[in-house]
Structure 1
Amino acid sequence: MRFDFFRLPGAGSADGQGDALAAGKPAGGLGGGEHDDELLAMHEASGYVRYALQLDHQQRVKGYRMAWLATPGSEPMPDPSSQFIALLDNICRHLNPARTGWRLGRLVLFLDVTVDALFLPELQALPPENIVLCMGIADLSDADTRSMLLFLREQGFGFMLRDADALPADPELREVISHLDVGDGDAERVARVREDQPPGGAPVQLVATRVESWQQAAACADLRVDIFVEGALKHPPVKEGADALQPESVMIVRLMHMIQRNENVRSIESALKRDAALTYRLLRHINSPAIGAGVEIHSLRHAVAMLGYAPLFRWLSVLLATSNRASAPFMTKKAITRGRFVELMGQGMLPAGEADNLFVVGMFSLIDQLLGVPMAEVLAKVQLSGAVQQAILAREGVYAPFLALAEACETDGAQAARLSEALFVSSSQVNAAHLAAMAWSQEVDAHEGGV
């Protein structure tokens, strides 16, 4: 059975990014004129967007710490100021485009900045309540910078103090600082900082930026300290469910089988009616802006009439990923982001039917982590095509290079550069797909009741 997920006649990608991505063009920008052209040139040539996840004590995503990795071997190597402007340009183009505004909801971006960066007009193109600027004490204490710090803080920008053992003594500077880097989250250091905060004021949010194991992460969770987690950190341990799927997962798998067998709508609708909550969640996703139906859908029969079976299989895949309440919430977001990124990278490079399967490849590559069930057992229950299973189990076949690129972008910038070159895609295309996927996963999360 061919699954043309979300592809309506004459339509581009679900979030409006597909045509631009396929052509290697950004979907939006900071404006027009020579300066924008100059930024685009830097953006095209300089490197890749990297990020770490900000997680709270329940492992929910609260934000991202964004960075720029210059393309390995670039000559000449872009200076730090140019790299930061390239990062800002990508963020503005793909996460805060003029036509839609901020695409990450209440999520926050952490940006490492220098004094000079505070004065960039591009910085103020971003919503201040969603931006935290990370600086060392030397830069924050610069007398010539104080007025700008106060101005930005009054606008709503946050400031994280990096590489300091305690809050500064200067009371005015304390008013500027909204976040504090507490390194590996040492309990004594956290206690000292909290004791040092004056009563009655807004508490400084503590973030452990150097977490190297899930044991450290658990200790930070006990202290109610947020953490930054990079892709290179192995996935958290998952409690396996005695080789059995949970009841909701079983129902979703059954529905996926019915769609794969092309059973009639009445039979599928009858099975779905046994779980009102699942029906509600499915219709919420189908009615999300990402699907582009243009009309509110009230029933499964209406959905099939408007869109066909393919979107149902796609959304059931998403619901399967969220069906294990014991899995870490950030892993669900990671899987959905990876699926969308892999799908976007395949658009325009593979025939439509094959490119659409890439979403399933990307998302299902983490499904064992989400369900707590061995991968082979999951794939035995959800009978995906041979090519999809080959990519997931052996990292081989036509879909494998796109999955490998997604994994490299999460962990290894140098490898990402090599793999994107092998696929004949530019860093700008990779960045556009990655940030578009990040925004799309946030929209999915919002329809699941997240932030």
Structure 2
Amino acid sequence: MFKNLFGSLTGKTTEKTEDSKAVPAPPDNADRLPPSFGFITHQPVYDSQQKLVAYEFVACDAVQRSEAGTSQYAQYDQLMLGTLLNLDVFSLLAKRRAFINLSLSVLNNPQLATLAAQRVICILNPSAGERIGQAELAQIQQLKQQGLCFALEPTQFGEGQLTPSLQNDLFGLMDYLILDFSASAEEVLIPFLDKLPARFPRARWYARNINSMEAYEVCLRSSAAHERFVLFQGPFITQVRKIEGVQTDAGRLRVMEILRLLRSGADSKALNEQFKLDSILLFKLLRFINSPANGLNRKISTLDESLLLLGRETLFKWLTLLLFTSNKDDNRSLVLLERSLWRARFMETLGTAGGKNRLECEHLFLTGMFSMLDALLQQPLKEALQPLSLPPTVASALIDGNGLFAPYLNLTLGLEQEQDERIRTLSSELGLAVEQVNRLQLQAMAWAESVANGDQP
């Protein structure tokens, strides 16, 4: 479908043309809202070079919100905005932008103006029965003058929401226009049949729900791609594609051997011999270990110090990171590293919150780290894990989806896939409150960014 879509239209569209901030007071009719706002998920957003550059924050109750009237929709949005501010999300994002989904009915919220300096882009969503007029356009214009950026999905704003003349004015104010590839073929076609790229040449395009590398590559190959698509979101990065004739590089094979030796109880001499074959590996390992995000009391300078001060299980945990960086630090590997770190840290802190002992938490970390090894090595997960002799609880969760750690992994995957019912069920089974899950996953996001980027004191 994607090849036909862009192949047939390129000729028609290339012409130049801990709480640090207060939560808002609850609304008067808050009794009609959920007792807790609900789960907030974050979706990674990539640029055309597959670098992770932003997150889109989504409320899992988006379907319920979209069916609400304008007044109640605004209350949901105020709660989400307050939750993000209360969790200090925007200050956690040192190097990333944040997309947040809001309705036009909250444009007068005074907190919006404070987000301009926080690298925030507001994605506008119309609520049921909402009509947009000059007043809303003036509010957007004023917020843009204060530095806030905006985006919208054109197919969401038809004549039911605003007149054709106001539609041009509204779209012209947008910094990003969104194309959702999970929509029907007809909806995907509409922006191009309407020649929106040519009519609004200053707007950049954000391709959402890209489910395959093929769709991503088609976007890049389309005529004037740099004017169309600059941001991408979806599971295409983690897709496993078996590529014939491509072998695991020597650096990753060496890391696998070091991991095997460490699991088998080999002494430090044998481990050091492996590191001597590739001196950069030890440098990278120590960079990860000494990251300020880990809060060590002293700097570790040698492998022997690592074994002595951290122990074998913790050292094994940090060695897994080298699998993602032993090649040439291509952008895709770095993205997979950061996403694996997020999974690992989130699962580890969930274990801590649930009263698991230190070894169990270390193994929860390993479960998260190795959960994306299939995407990294482009081979089935069972095959990729086979040389490592992982602890049974880790292997059972990853390969069979069973055992003590499976609920933690499934909760993590549920958040990534925005499966509200699954998230609620698993959180309840693990004895975790909504606020706890939200806080831990966002803290893990910031921690993963810090470690993956090698932030140093």
| TM-score (norm. length: structure 1) | 0.77
Find out whether 1:251 has 2:218 as its counterpart.
Answer: no
Q: Cα offset for 1:192?
A: 4.1
Residues 159 and 303 (structure 1), Cα distance of their counterparts in 2 relative to 1, 3 Å cut: same
User: Partners in 1 of 2:64 and 2:214 — Cα distance?
Assistant: 36
Q: Does the CA contact (< 8 Å) of 1:269 and 1:300 recur in 2? A: yes
Aligned pair partner of 1:177 in 171, 174, 179 = 174
Q: Cα offset for 1:356?
A: 1.9
Q: Spell out, residue by residue over 1:248-280, the C-alpha distance to the aligned partner (whole angstroms, 9 max, x if none).
A: 111111222233234333442332132132222
| TM-score (norm. length: structure 2) | 0.76
Residues 123 and 404 (structure 1), Cα distance of their counterparts in 2 relative to 1, 3 Å cut: same
Q: Cα offset for 1:352?
A: 1.9
Find out whether 1:340 has 2:333 as its counterpart.
Answer: no
Residues 183 and 71 (structure 1), Cα distance of their counterparts in 2 relative to 1, 3 Å cut: closer
Look up the match of 1:414.
421
Look up the match of 1:286.
289
Q: Does the CA contact (< 8 Å) of 1:54 and 1:226 recur in 2? A: no
User: Partners in 2 of 1:394 and 1:379 — Cα distance?
Assistant: 13
Local SS of the residue matching 2:365: helix
Look up the match of 1:20.
none
Q: Does the CA contact (< 8 Å) of 1:137 and 1:161 recur in 2? A: no
CA RMSD of aligned residues (A): 3.9
Q: Cα offset for 1:354?
A: 0.9
Instruction: Choose between structure 1 and 2: higher helix proportion.
Output: 2
Residues 175 and 72 (structure 1), Cα distance of their counterparts in 2 relative to 1, 3 Å cut: closer
Q: Does the CA contact (< 8 Å) of 1:368 and 1:378 recur in 2? A: yes
Q: Cα offset for 1:143?
A: 2.5
Look up the match of 2:5.
none
User: Partners in 2 of 1:140 and 1:364 — Cα distance?
Assistant: 49
Find out whether 1:204 has 2:203 as its counterpart.
Answer: yes
User: Partners in 2 of 1:428 and 1:44 — Cα distance?
Assistant: 12
User: Partners in 1 of 2:313 and 2:117 — Cα distance?
Assistant: 39
User: Partners in 2 of 1:32 and 1:145 — Cα distance?
Assistant: 24
Look up the match of 1:134.
123
Look up the match of 1:23.
none
Find out whether 1:229 has 2:220 as its counterpart.
Answer: no
Residues 80 and 171 (structure 1), Cα distance of their counterparts in 2 relative to 1, 3 Å cut: closer
Aligned pair partner of 2:370 in 341, 364, 373 = 364
Q: Does the CA contact (< 8 Å) of 1:141 and 1:173 recur in 2? A: no
Look up the match of 2:311.
308
Residues 214 and 43 (structure 1), Cα distance of their counterparts in 2 relative to 1, 3 Å cut: farther
Query: Gaps spanning 5+ residues in structure 2: where?
Result: 1-17, 159-163, 182-187
User: Partners in 2 of 1:401 and 1:136 — Cα distance?
Assistant: 33
Look up the match of 2:10.
none
Q: Does the CA contact (< 8 Å) of 1:220 and 1:227 recur in 2? A: no
Local SS of the residue matching 2:123: strand
1:130 counterpart letter in structure 2: R
Aligned pair partner of 2:437 in 430, 437, 441 = 430
Q: How does 1:6-405 map to 2 (within 5 A)?
A: 27-31=18-22, 45-70=36-61, 79-96=72-89, 102-126=91-115, 128-135=117-124, 142-163=133-154, 176-184=173-181, 189=192, 192-196=195-199, 203-209=202-208, 211=210, 213-222=212-221, 223-224=225-226, 225-230=229-234, 235-240=238-243, 244-323=247-326, 329-349=334-354, 350-405=356-411
Local SS of the residue matching 2:150: strand
User: Partners in 2 of 1:258 and 1:227 — Cα distance?
Assistant: 42
Local SS of the residue matching 1:447: coil
Q: Cα offset for 1:319?
A: 1.8
Q: Does the CA contact (< 8 Å) of 2:54 and 2:98 recur in 1? A: yes
Q: Does the CA contact (< 8 Å) of 1:324 and 1:370 recur in 2? A: no
Q: Spell out, residue by residue over 1:164-217, the C-alpha distance to the aligned partner (whole angstroms, 9 max, x if none).
A: 59998899867742111244476982994444456xxxx422112354554322
Q: Spell out, residue by residue over 1:262-317, the C-alpha distance to the aligned partner (whole angstroms, 9 max, x if none).
A: 43334423321321322222121112112211333333334344433443212211
Q: Cα offset for 1:157?
A: 1.6
Q: Does the CA contact (< 8 Å) of 1:72 and 1:414 recur in 2? A: no
2:146 counterpart letter in structure 1: Q
Q: Cα offset for 1:358?
A: 0.3
Q: Does the CA contact (< 8 Å) of 2:20 and 2:88 recur in 1? A: no
Q: Spell out, residue by residue over 1:383-429, the C-alpha distance to the aligned partner (whole angstroms, 9 max, x if none).
A: 11112111111111111111111112222111111111122211112
